[in-house]
């Protein structure tokens, strides 16, 4: 069993040690809870559980505490992929919900598995997901001051390998902040979240760069074709260099290889594989 999570990129952590410490402590606690959960649950169930905990923390840009778009509204996106069944599900730009990853989980058994906007919210209401306002005073303050783009990058994700050898990936985001309403991030696409029987990947960074590189699906495909996870990730990241792509990934292969990488050195992540906790 192995588990790795990420909390996106956080440049404000460079200057605010209190915020950095809080995020480190939150990731450490969540990866411990997630690994404990993995002991008696599947990779899919655990990926949803861990990401829902990340969504519930206002320290991260997903669920509660998500960024506010240019029209003053918060729209959330999340995706889930089961490496065993090869089913992908997700919601794009859904409003007024607490845990978009849980809605994605609900959609996993449906024929229409990726919903956006009003359709996603209607589906959520019809399936017992009530009204919730994910705005926090800090995000409103940031919106009002129109802070620089550099502090508005962040997504959360989880990749899990369960006792049955099955893999899953889950990713959730509140977007980049101040974007044009209707903008679609990578998080609810196979560019940002992908898994099969060989590997699973969750991404963070600039969605447009991640989509341009088809990052998650490309890495997983290369592992499927025989590359190690580390080599597949490095090769794919090298292909982002011509566009100066801003991205980070966490991943696990079916052989148990865990790997993380980023183009900038400020992605925060934590892992647990039964050995003493490793945190960055």
Catalytic residue among 64, 155, 204, 263: 155
Q: Round to whole Å and give the CA distance between 10 and 176.
A: 12
Phi, psi of 3 (to 5 degrees): -150, 135
Question: Has 155 been annotated as catalytic?
Answer: yes
Catalytic positions: 155
């Amino acid at each position: 069993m192995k588990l790795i999570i990420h909390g996106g990129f956080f440049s404000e952590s460079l200057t605010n040690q209190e915020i950095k410490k809080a995020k480190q402590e939150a990731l450490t606690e969540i990866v411990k809870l997630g690994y404990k959960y993995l002991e008696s649950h599947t990779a899919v169930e655990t990926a949803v559980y861990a990401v829902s905990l990340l969504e519930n923390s206002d320290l991260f840009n997903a669920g509660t505490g998500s960024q506010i778009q240019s029209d003053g509204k918060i729209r959330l996106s999340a995706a889930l992929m089961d490496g065993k069944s090869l089913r992908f599900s997700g919601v794009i730009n859904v409003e007024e919900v607490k845990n978009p990853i849980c809605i994605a989980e609900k959609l996993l058994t449906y024929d229409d598995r990726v919903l956006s906007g009003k359709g996603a919210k209607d589906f959520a209401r019809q399936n017992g997901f009530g009204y919730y306002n994910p705005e926090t005073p800090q995000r409103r303050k940031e919106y009002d001051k129109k802070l620089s783009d550099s502090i508005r990058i962040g997504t959360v994700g989880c990749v899990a390998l369960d006792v049955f050898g099955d893999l899953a990936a889950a990713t959730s985001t509140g977007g980049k902040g101040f974007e044009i309403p209707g903008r679609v991030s990578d998080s609810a696409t196979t560019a940002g979240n992908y898994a099969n029987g060989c590997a699973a990947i969750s991404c963070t960074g600039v969605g447009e760069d991640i989509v341009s590189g088809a990052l998650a699906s490309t890495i997983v495909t290369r592992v499927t074709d025989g590359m190690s996870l580390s080599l597949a990730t490095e090769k794919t990241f090298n292909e982002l260099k011509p566009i100066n792509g801003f991205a980070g990934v966490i991943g696990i292969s079916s052989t148990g290889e865990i790997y993380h990488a980023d183009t900038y050195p400020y992605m925060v992540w934590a892992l647990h594989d039964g050995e003493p906790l490793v945190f960055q």
